[in-house]
Structure 1
Amino acid sequence: MSSPISGIVAWAVIGYLAVGLAGWLWVVRGTDADRFDNQMGRLVIHMGLWCIVALLMYRCASTPTIDDPANQLALGCVLMTTTHLYSIGRLVSADPEPDIVWRNQRNAGLVALAATASIVLTAASTRYSGRTVDLRRTGDALGIGCAFAVPLTYNTFVFARSCLGAVRDIDTPRAARIVSFGMIGTTAVIWGAQALSLSQLATGWPDGPQLSLVPAAFTLFVATGSTLLAVPLVAELVLRAGMDRATRTCRRLLPLWRDLTAAVPEIVMPADARHGSDPATRLLRMTVEIRDAMLHLGAYLPAEADETQRDTVPEPEWNRGITDYAHRLSRAAQARKAGLPPAGTGAPPPLPLGAHDFDAELALLIDLARIWPQAKAAVE
């Protein structure tokens, strides 16, 4: 076999990566995300394309040695992949302007191209002299090894350092921490393979014309990295499908919000064009508007719940207060929409139970929204 990776595994990894790249391309082209996310998405797509080319070059190799031109070009593609890791690391660490990001990427790419040319020319010169190109203690092997190892080590070090910084940052979300840990681990695999290759170059151990660890480690890196990068992709797809927690909560609150803001339309805040599609912002605005509407309707609340209507919506004892309040609030909304004068009972607390933080208040509003359709039907 010309490759240490079987054809089934290699083609499966290539197909897996291609599907992930298609998802990233769809997300990046159709997103209104900010500048950072768009740059990150473009770098990931470009890096993935280079990964596919590298894996295809390894499949085209006729021998597992570095004497094969396909393996030499594959090393160049691996270096181009690491240049994008370098740019991602710089983007995460410094968040530079777009022109700086792509200038850094261009410079790193030129270095990778120069290193690839050095590998190809050194191998061609060695073959022209009638010698075999392999990883032994020779000047040719030293030149090829340094041309590959130096930029690869530097690029992956910058990337791993940025991942470590993200792990240490207390504000980093849990999912991002998992991705960062995983990327550090897969980068360490590449370092291990490179260390063994350099050990063979320096000491001759282990014996053999060439180690096959680089393509194997790179394939493992691609498979693991594709899985880790699928985490934010899946999160974005869930967000677009409206299945995230904030969007689901907004849907549960929508009937309550719609009826209360119809009674008190002046409290509805104008939508922010920059954050109008952000589910978390939408949920916060909806919660604030429901609370403001209830405060405005406080003067219209009946003094007591109607006992007859109480019994139409049987509730456990612990939820009786919410049920009664839902009936009274529904009457208050109808009274204000009809232009009736306030009931004159003052403005009681917006909910019968205390809510000391946003999560507690949101839980109470969800309970109120759950009861609201029955309470509304009971007073109509």
Structure 2
Amino acid sequence: MSSLIPEAVAWLVIGYIGVITAGRLMLLRDTIIDQLVNRMLLWSIAAMLLYRCAPTPSITSLPTALSVGCVVMTTMYLYVMARYIVAETGPAAVWRRHRRCGLVAAVATVVMVVSGMAAEDNGRPVDLGVHGPAAIFGFAYAAPLAVNMVVFLFAGIRELRIGDLSAKGQLVCWLLGISGGFVLVNQALSLAQLLTGWPDLGPQLPRGELDFVLCLVLDVTLLAIPLLSALLALAGWDRDGRICRRLRPLWRDLTAAVPEIVLPADARRGADPATRLFRMTVEIRDALLHLGSYLPTEPHSAFESDWEITDYARRLAHAARARKAGSVPTVAGAGPRLPLVGHDFDAELRHLLGLARVWSQTRAAMG
């Protein structure tokens, strides 16, 4: 195998990529980009496994040639994703382009296998050779790889120039650009070595494997970021999940008193923390409106102008109990309710969190 990557390190990398890929296949598979990325990772794993399982590191061996074909296929996914981002085409067009690119990669792989076998039969090495089979092999590998990487890099440059990306998105684009540029520089050096003999970097195959593995580890690490976010959301440890847990006692008691305001469950997006938070906020707000007419009247100044969160929580608990027991409203129509100092979701959420903070203590004090 390649002398540039120790055997133990190579298998650790395969295991690392396999774990990230398995996690993405389970949690991140809804969007077209996610599906393309997941398939690209599967082809990357296939490329590494084929190379590690080859009896010799010779490019003329069938497993190694197929491994290089898998590398070409991974870059085809970069091309498809770049065209999808730039052209903003529909799903049908994306999968048509995917099938065409898969056919190109398959043809390139067949050409590399045949040219490698021809060179082996003639006793001429493909690596560092300038004869016919070597030229055909090199063109079948380098041409699609260079085209795909250039298209992908230009798509990244376009996204950076538009300026709609967040700071994190810009960092990801720059890192992917550096990764793609590293591949193109290595290909340019290999071409110069093939034509002129300079620079003398040794056999291309071990260097090509090292190039692929380094870029793959960087890209997979970036792809692990959304997977980590999905895992945190699944465990309820993300921001929205934590807020949902803080609101849950208040939401549970209020919706028990006003069960008819609970929205129908969305099975497809029921596990989305952002959706759960929005639904919970809407349902608490609706419950406050319904319970306004059950709030006990107080002799002091108007509720909207002299508001105390603890006092309101106490009165709201009385209102929830009264409605749940079937009592008659204390006032006609909607009574005083939780005031909002802003008209946006964040301002409302801050007020509800303030109410939720004193809710459990208030209910416990009332017995």
TM-score tier after normalising by the smaller chain length: 0.7 to 0.9
Correspondences of 1:139-154 after superposition (within 5 Å): 139-154=132-147
Q: Deviation of residue 2 (structure 1)? A: 3.9
CA distance in 1, matches of 2:52, 2:336: 74
2:296 corresponding residue in structure 1 = 302
SS at match of 1:378: helix
Shift of 1:14: 0.9
| CA deviation after TM superposition for structure 1 residue 19, in Å | 1.4
User: Cα distance 1:296–1:91, how it changes in 2: closer, same or farther (>3 A)?
Assistant: same
1:84-103 deviation digits (Å, cap 9, x = unpaired): 22233334444544443333
| Matching residue of 1:333 | 320
Equivalent in the alignment of 1:181: 174
More off after superposition, 199-208 vs 40-49: 40-49
CA shift digits 1:114-151 (9 cap, x unpaired)? 22232333333334344333325545443332221110
Quote the Cα distance in structure 2 between the aligned partners of 1:285 and 1:46: 34
Q: Distance in 2 between matches of 1:208 and 1:290?
A: 67
1:350 aligned partner: 338
The residue number in structure 2 matching 1:84 is 77
- Counterpart CA distance in 2 for 1:169 and 1:257 is 42
> SS where residue 192 of structure 1 aligns?
helix
1:222 to 202, 205, 216: 216
- Give a deviation string over 1:37-70, Cα, whole Å, max 9, x none: 2x44443333223222322333345665645555
For residues 273 and 60 of structure 1, the distance between their equivalents in structure 2, rounded to whole angstroms, comes to 44
Secondary structure of 2:153 counterpart: helix
Q: Deviations over 1:135-176 (max 9, x none)?
A: 255454433322211100122233334444455566556655
Q: Which residue of 1 aligns with 2:303?
A: none
Q: CA deviation at 1:244?
A: 2.2
Q: Is the 2:47–2:68 contact (alpha carbons within 8 Å) kept by the matching residues of 1?
A: yes
Letter of the 2:361 partner, please give it. Q
* Structure 1: segments with no counterpart, 5+ residues: 307-319
The 2-side partners of 1:108 and 1:274 are apart by 32
Report the 3-state secondary structure (helix = DSSP H, G, I; strand = E; otherwise coil) of the residue aligned with 1:83: helix
Q: Does 1:283 align with 2:270?
A: no
Mapped partners of 1:217, 1:103: distance in 2: 30
Change in CA separation of 1:145 and 1:266 when aligned onto 2, cut-off 3 Å: same
CA spacing shift, 1:126–1:194, aligned 2, 3 Å: same
Q: 1:15 to 1:272 in 2, by over 3 A?
A: closer
Instruction: Give, in angstroms, the shift of residue 215 of structure 1.
Output: 0.9
The match for 1:244 is 238
Aligned to 1:8: 8
| Distance 1:76-1:274 versus aligned 2 partners, 3 A rule | closer
Aligned to 1:49: 42
Distance 2:341 2:295 in 1: 18
Of the three residues 353, 363, 370, the one matched with 2:357 is 370
Higher deviation after alignment, 122-131 or 358-367: 122-131
Corresponding position of 2:251: 257
Q: Which moved more, 1:235-244 or 1:148-157?
A: 235-244
Q: Number of matched residues? A: 359
Q: CA deviation at 1:371?
A: 0.7
1:107 equivalent among 89, 100, 107? 100
Q: Which residue of 1 aligns with 2:119?
A: 126
8 Å contact kept, 1:301–1:329: yes
Is the 8 Å Cα contact of residues 72 and 120 (structure 1) preserved in structure 2?
A: yes
Q: Partner letter of residue 336 of structure 2?
A: P
What are the Cα deviations for residues 20-42 of structure 1, in whole angstroms up to 9, with x where unaligned? 222223336xx7x4xxx2x4444
- Counterpart of 1:322 in structure 2 is 309
Q: What letter matches 1:17 in structure 2?
A: I
Partner of 2:304: none
Gaps of at least 5 residues in structure 2 are 301-306
Give CA-to-partner distance per residue, 1:265-295, whole Å, 9 cap, x none: 4433334455444322221222122223223
Measure, in 1, the Cα distance between the counterparts of 2:273 and 2:111: 51
| TM-score (normalizing by structure 2) | 0.84
Q: Distance in 1 between matches of 2:135 and 2:186?
A: 17
SS of the residue corresponding to residue 341 of structure 1 reads coil
Q: 1:198 aligns with which of 191, 195, 198?
A: 191
Moved more, 100-109 or 128-137: 128-137
The residue that corresponds to 2:24 in the other structure is 24
Q: What secondary structure does 1:350 align onto?
A: coil
TM-score by length of 1: 0.82
Query: 2:240 & 2:220 partners in 1: Cα distance?
Result: 27
Distance 2:120 2:320 in 1: 88
% identical equivalent positions: 49
Contact conserved, 1:13 with 1:222, CA < 8 A, in 2?
no
CA shift digits 1:336-362 (9 cap, x unpaired): 3331332579733523x6234321221
What letter corresponds to residue 350 of structure 1 in structure 2?
L
How large is the Cα RMSD of the aligned pairs? 3.1
Change (3 A) 1:217 1:154: same
| 1:93–1:145 Cα change, 3 Å | same
Report the equivalent of 1:314: none
Question: Closer, same or farther in 2 for the Cα pair 1:342/1:75, shift >3 Å?
Answer: same
